[in-house]
Amino acid sequence: MLRALFSFFISGIINFAYSQSLPAPQRLRCDLLANTQAVSQRGLPVTTSLKEAAKQSTQYQFASITSKQPSFSWELAKQVPQQSAYRILVASSPALLIPGKADYWDSNRQASAQTRATYTGKPLVAGTVHYWTVQVWNAQGQLTSFAPATSFYHGEPDPAERFAHYPLVAEPQQPKLIHKTAPDTYFLDFGKDALCQLTLHLNSPADDTVWVAVGEAIAAPYTINPKAGQRIRYLKTALPVKKGTHTYQIDWPVDAKRNSRDPVLMPAYIGEVYPFRYVTVSNVKGAFDQSSVERTMVHYPFDETAASFTSSDTILNQIWDLCKYSIKATSFTGYYVDGDRERIPYEADALINQLSHYAVDAEYSMARRSMTYLLYHPTWPTEWSLQNVLIAWNDYLYTGDDRLLQTYYPELQKKILMPLAGPNGLISTRTNKQTDDFLTSIHITKLFDGRRGLHDIVDWPQNGEYISPEKEHKGETDGFVFTTYNSVINAYYYRNLVLMQQIAEALHKPDDAAFYKAKAQEVFSAFRSVFRDAQTGLIKDGDETSHCSLHSNMFALAFGLVPTEDVKAVREFVKSRRMACSVYGSQFLMDALYDSGMGDYAFDLLTATTQRSWYNMIRVGSTISMEAWDIAFKPNLDLSHAWGAAPANLIVRKLMGVEPLTPGFDTFQIKPQLGRLTQATATIPTIKGAVTVAIKKTAATETMSIHVPGGSQATVYMPQLAGKTRLLLDGKPIRSQAGNGFFQLPAVGAGNHVVELK
């Protein structure tokens, strides 16, 4: 308590000494982490100061900033819509900051509108705690007060962990329901599935054995289903209890099969977890109530209040809740893993997880940590290698911090698989170009299922037996025909080249940028020559087949490979295939639909109630997004896969239309495509602060209320409505050019605004 009061006192002195009419910057970040001063013990927050905790690093957990030149960033208060300059102070003690001085770095006044900066002070000392603050000048040159000082621990560099990350959180939870099913048996429901530990507090009249069962599904009311699926978890264990009142923690069994596949292990300070929602406790002889059982959910730090969404469609609202919670629940290892069954990071899982995580929380370190791991621990699908560049570009676009690109640029160059290119400029895994040197260069050094090398995947699973009325082919690839040159692989390859050009430009490598631009143009021409069906304008699966699948066309459409004259034919074909892809493929299908003007159809798929829908996950009882649409399509699915949570980012990026246009959300767009919705409201977290969008349609008016955070500028698109041509911005008529179904309002500045169409 004294330390907390002292910290409050020091912050108050700093603010009093430099108080101005304008409020200070807020939500300070060091290396993208917003709570570097936080200390925990076995996942639970403690009041121990960071300086004291650093002296006992084996007892406490806290973030470690290992960069020699960490980045600093902040959000502007609402009263400061634009910044013209900043000043940062870094010191070895908060007391040194009181007179506005610093013994490590005083940046002095730096003329810049950027709300981020890189440390250029004297060398930081590893093993020590540093304190920093910032103040800014607004566009009129008025000075704000200093932000309350915050601290960070500077640690020794770790080659395996180049970027900072948080320790895991342990969140104690009580059951939502307790039901007595027999004189000595109780059924408990915690409301949602989670990766957890389980503690019992029991008072037994004698030494005895209590039986505890946990599971993810029920067979009937108050009955856990022990056979819900191959990997839908159920466990029953005997718990020896002693006479008197004691506390017991359930020990989870070792998963030998999973451990044989080199999974991400739970850190020792947290311990093992197991997925469950339901618990039964039997042979209980003493008292038993709400306080007798506690579940501890393990997850990465997660801000429940950062994002919100509600609309006039109750199904869509439930899907949002499912997917938002899925991001929190599947973060239990601190990496983006494929779920509980394997606990292995996969590039495709990480890409969808990244976008959805950004949509529900302004948290960027977990994506960086996962990508760093995957660069050196790759998986076997060809497309998965080609997703590294997409993940890296998203990191830069959403954070504005180019250090991941700088650090791993040589690795990204290898991950685009250019050595697999043939005489036609396209790449193939079937032309004997996967040499030992090539595979070693991309860090594939071990066998996957008895084979070494990349193998085209298109979608997963490839060979499921189940066929439903919603699809006509086995598996999830829509009957894709694999040939020497694969159109899906080369759609990814083209997208990689386009992004590598932009990455090279961002890193001031003009020769590389020109090279990748020329290669992209070459692949674009080759793609059209090899894969386009001249009769229909559709995209074929490969160079040796006339078959056209959903995947060959949706990836081409999503990645900008369909010429204008063919867009109509491709759109109609894609629509005819319905949801003939997996939960993974749906990310790219929906992107393609929204980006090509098919928002109404995308909305129909997003809110569908068929077997192959997100609502089906809710209907079958899952509270975390599933690995597949239904257990019928993948009998060994588990119930903890974030790659099934694509609607979290689709609702934000496409339905509400909020996407960055330039790195760090300096500029972004609001381009809603609401489908049948008459009302929708969202709060979207960004590195600059929260963006809010509220849209309401009536017979007379369409109204969009927005908030643009300080330091940002928005391009706003107002959907056109039949018979409505009068556009107003903040009550004043405004002229706007209409096109492609929207009125466009460029350069809408920071603050609250109302756009009306009458």
Entry pTM: 0.95
Question: 3-state SS of 698-746?
Answer: CCCCEEEEEEECCCCEEEEEEECECCECCEEECCEECCCCEECCEEEEE
- Per-residue model confidence (pLDDT) at position 464: 81
CA–CA dist 583, 597 (Å, integer): 22
pLDDT at residue 11 in the model: 45
Q: What are phi and psi of 341, to 5 degrees?
A: -60, -45
pLDDT of residue 18: 42
Strands, DSSP E only, in 351-403?
none
Choose among 291, 125, 117, 263: nearest CA to 203.
291
- The per-residue pLDDT for range 542-593, each reduced to its tens digit, is 999 999 999 999 999 999 999 999 999 999 999 999 999 999 999 999 999 9
Cα–Cα distances in angstroms (integers) from residue 619 to residues 323, 356, 608, 624, 625, in the given order = 14, 22, 12, 12, 12
pLDDT of residue 758: 93
Q: What are the extents of the domains in the chain?
A: 2-154, 169-299, 308-655, 664-757
Read off the tokens for 79. 């009263």
Instruction: Output the pLDDT for position 15.
Output: 44
**Which listed CATH number (1.20.120.80, 2.60.120.260, 2.40.440.10, 2.20.25.570) goes with 169-299?**
2.60.120.260
Tokens of 512: 């590389």
Question: Which CATH number is correct for 664-757, 3.40.190.10, 3.40.50.2300, 2.60.420.10, 3.20.20.70?
Answer: 2.60.420.10
Instruction: Specify whether the CB–CB gap between 259 and 197 falls below 8 A.
Output: no
Question: What's domain 2-154's superfamily in CATH?
Answer: Immunoglobulins (2.60.40.10)
How many Å apart are CA 581 and CA 488, to the nearest integer? Answer: 13
At residue 7, the pLDDT reads 46
Q: For residues 580 and 53, what is the distance between their CA atoms, to the nearest angstrom? A: 53
pLDDT tens, 708-725?
999 999 999 999 988 888
CATH class of 308-655: mainly alpha
Residues of the chain with pLDDT below 50 are 1-20
Q: Which residues contact 426 (CB under 8 A, 6 or more apart)?
A: 485, 490, 493, 523, 526, 527, 530
- Tell me the C-alpha distance between 386 and 616, whole Å: 30
